Amino acid sequence: MLHPIFVVSEGRPLGWALTGRTPLKTSHLAANPHRSWSFWSPSHDTAFVDCVAEWVEDEVEKQEVWDVFHDTPTPLGWGPEGMAGYGAERWVNPLFTPLRLSPWRVQVMRGGQYPSGELTGRVWRDG
């Protein structure tokens, strides 16, 4: 599983991840689609994202995901060279299997908060 890319779409966070759609991953997601992601920087800034993951089936959304990973420079995106392995078919290639990540909770904390003991940061919740 590669790191996801999160954007703000229609005022809400939305993410995608690219991975292989194996039978094991498919059965795990069917049993429990809830996933958590965490990010850390050397300055101790952190982000935690709790979301529901589901396979992207819609061809229009697949193209949008392709464009995000293609157009976002490395190391966050793949750039044109990273997407070249999917061939000319692009997002219709069966190997291109994105997951949509629909967050229901996002927490962001700045590393500068640690010395003060203020560790709650900012929290967004769906609804």
pLDDT of residue 20: 79
d(CA 78, CA 122): 29
State pLDDT tens for residues 61-71: 988 888 888 88
Whether the CA torsion 78, 84, 87, 88 is positive or negative: it is positive
Query: What are the φ/ψ torsions at residue 10 (nearest 5 degrees)?
Result: 55, 40
59 vs 15, more confident: 15
State pLDDT tens for residues 78-100: 777 666 666 555 656 677 788 99
Residue 10 to residues 13, 28, 35, Cα–Cα distance (Å)? 8, 29, 22
Domains of the chain, first to last:
5-125 (2.30.110.10)
